[in-house]
Amino acid sequence: MVRARFEQVSYNLAPGETTTRQKMTASAEAHPNIALVKYWGKRDLARNLPAVGSLSVTLADLCTQMTVDFDAGDSDRLIINGQEAPAMLSRVTRCLDLVAGVDRPCATVESQCNFPIGAGLASSASAFAALTVAANAAAETGHEALVLAKIAGAASGSAARSLYGGVVELSAGDDEIDLTQLAEADEWPLQVVVAITAEEEKPLGSGAAMIRSAETSPFYSSWIERQDDDLALARDAVAVKDFVALGEVAEHNCLKMHSVMWSSRPPIVYWNQATLACMESVRLLRENGHHAFFTIDAGPQVKVFSMPDAVDIVEEVLRKTPGVLRMLRTGVGDGARLIPK
Ligand code: PMV
């Protein structure tokens, strides 16, 4: 029991003694993941349960490192890239409570992220995946990965998938989620070039946007009804490593999700002109015989998947695409893990 252990730690301290306190601190690292069959919509708002299953690829080089220190201060603190970050603190506190119990000591959480936050690059996925792994080790709670995935998913639906590497499927049951690793990180050398078309934070968070879609889009119910078909196609494509089939279902699913967003009231439009120009570049690449497909999340960045033989031309074409500010290039990565502090 976490509580008993925390109590014992404090009972063991002599008055005024601080040096013998067991160090309840740990660091973890996690990568964002990009969904090819997307999560959009919530089944249960209070528990943040997704209305649909999803399938994603964990990235290798984009990364969040998180240190959790149960230092028994007066309140939890969150520091992101060296700056105090009170806006995200309540979600972090709730996540720590779910890992270590509500009677845990207060914690200082320090996060370092090597890519833009809140800009449609799944920074919350890597953040909450890393947070659960670090908190679990710091509090010695011994939860297994699936339990941590469910806790991370309660904070940010896509974060559950970042506990695992490679290609990951999240199944949305009535009462809880389940996760399956469909391929390990080194099984299929998919390459991803992310075209950054805007650096600022998105105007509307995905949680609020999903609620608006569910309440107002006339396409929402058919989005939900068809999701299992897309998941089956994607799962089959991954099983036989069929890049073209995976690309077809991924682009279809992405455009369907954005159709739900666009048809919400008021409309939710995350794209800019460069987003559209990138989509056109990918279409031209394909017309010229290069295997590549795009996907876009709740933001204006375009993620282009290819095989290693096409990644240089993909990067070159995106670099020349009007409005592309810069690019990130990565392969497929591993799941969340502990790192030395
Ligand atoms: O995990 P959230 O609540 O930020 O939602 C993520 C939603 C999408 O990125 C648009 C799709 C997905 O499956 O990752």
pLDDT value, residue 26: 97
Average pLDDT over residues 294-311: 96
pTM of structure: 0.92
Token pair in block for residue 91: 């979600």
Q: Which residues contact 79 (CB under 8 A, 6 or more apart)?
A: 85, 108, 109, 110, 111
For the chain, give every domain's residue range.
Answer: 24-184, 191-330
Is pLDDT at 13 greater than 50 in this prediction? no
Q: Which residues contact 171 (CB under 8 A, 6 or more apart)?
A: 53, 177, 178, 179, 180
Count how many Cα atoms sit within 13 Å of the Cα of residue 331 in the half-sphere of its side chain: 13
pLDDT value, residue 254: 98
In percent, the amount of the chain with pLDDT more than 70 equals: 93
Is pLDDT at 147 greater than 80 in this prediction? yes
199 or 169, greater pLDDT: 169
For residue 190, give the nearest of 207, 167, 173, 215 by alpha carbon: 167
Pocket test for ligand 1, best of 260, 297, 303 (most atoms within 8 A of CB): 297
**Which is it for strands 292-295 and 191-196: parallel, antiparallel or unpaired?**
unpaired
pLDDT value, residue 202: 77
Question: What CATH number should be reported for the domain whose range is 191-330?
Answer: 3.30.70.890
pLDDT value, residue 321: 98
- Which residue's CA is the nearest one to ligand 1's atom 9? 297
- The top-level CATH class assigned to 24-184 is alpha beta
Cα 213 to middle of ligand 1, angstroms: 13
Computed over every residue of the chain, the mean pLDDT equals 92
What is the tens place of the pLDDT at every residue in 118-139? 767 888 999 999 999 999 999 9
Cα 19 to middle of ligand 1, angstroms: 43
Of 2-6, 96-100, 233-237, give the lowest mean pLDDT range.
2-6
Cα 21 to middle of ligand 1, angstroms: 40
Average pLDDT over residues 80-93: 95
Which alpha helices (H) appear in the chain, and where do they start and end? 2-11, 89-100, 123-138, 145-155, 206-216, 220-239, 243-262, 273-287, 311-319
The strand order across the sheet containing 177-183 reads 33-37, 54-58, 167-172, 177-183
Q: How confident is the model at residue 27 (pLDDT cuts 50, 70, 90)?
A: very high
pLDDT value, residue 22: 62
Average pLDDT over residues 252-262: 98
Cα 289 to middle of ligand 1, angstroms: 31
Q: Do domains 24-184 and 191-330 have the same CATH topology?
A: no
Q: How confident is the model at residue 1 (pLDDT cuts 50, 70, 90)?
A: very low
CA 121 to CA 302: how far, in whole Å? 9
For residue 111, give the nearest of 87, 131, 140 by alpha carbon: 131
Q: Are 74 and 43 in contact (CB under 8 A)?
A: no
Q: How confident is the model at residue 5 (pLDDT cuts 50, 70, 90)?
A: very low
71 or 34, greater pLDDT: 34
* Residue ranges lining ligand 1, Cβ < 6 Å: 35, 38-40, 54, 122, 124-125, 156-158, 206-207, 297-298
Which alpha helices (H) appear in 158-305, and where do they start and end? 206-216, 220-239, 243-262, 273-287
Cα 157 to middle of ligand 1, angstroms: 6
